[in-house]
Amino acid sequence: MPEPEVINVTVNGQRLSVPAGTVAASAVARAGLVGFRAPVRGGPARGPLCGMGICFECRIMINGQPQVRSCQVICREGMELRTDDLANA
Ligand code: FES
């Protein structure tokens, strides 16, 4: 069975259609969000930096699992992506 060309995910509860093969970090960016998580000691919100799994700045909750490096996850149909609430306050 061929893969669908477009899949649907939610980003902070909002439905978003993305091309199949989209990385979760890209889906969050497509939703218009730049803040993925709030830093522990204050300061500006954090977001993807390296895009290759090294910096850990892109961590979000994916399907209820916290602290997932979103640059390392390919979106799947129905996937739920959630950034830190404080990152985009
Ligand atoms: S952007 Fe660096 S680990 Fe994801």
Domain boundaries, the chain: 6-88
Q: Which residue has the tokens 């930096």?
A: 49
Q: Ligand 1 center to residue 30 CA distance, Å?
A: 16
Ligand 1 cavity residues, CB under 6 Å: 48-51, 53-58, 69, 71
Atom of ligand 1 nearest to the CA of 50: 2
- Whether residue 3 is predicted with pLDDT greater than 70 in this model: the reply is no
pLDDT at 46: 95
Mean pLDDT value across residues 62-70: 97
pTM: 0.91
How many CA atoms are closer than 13 Å to the CA of 79, on its beta-carbon side? Answer: 25
How many angstroms is it from 1 CA to the middle of ligand 1? Answer: 32
With cut-offs at 50, 70 and 90, classify the pLDDT of residue 87: confident
Residue 36 in contact with residue 56, Cβ under 8 Å?
no
Kindly report, residue by residue over 24-61, the tens digit of the pLDDT.
999 999 999 999 999 888 899 999 999 999 999 999 99
6-88 carries CATH number 3.10.20.740:
yes
Distance CA 57, CA 88 (A): 15
Judged against a pLDDT cut of 90, whether residue 1 lies above it is answered with no
Of the CA atoms within 13 Å of residue 54, those in its CB half-sphere come to 4
CA distance 58 to 86: 14
Determine the residue of 34, 37, 57 to mutate for testing ligand 1's pocket, defined as the one with the most ligand atoms within 8 A of the Cβ atom: 57
pLDDT of 83 strictly over 90: yes
State the DSSP H helix or E strand holding residue 29, giving kind and residue range, or none if neither: helix 24-30
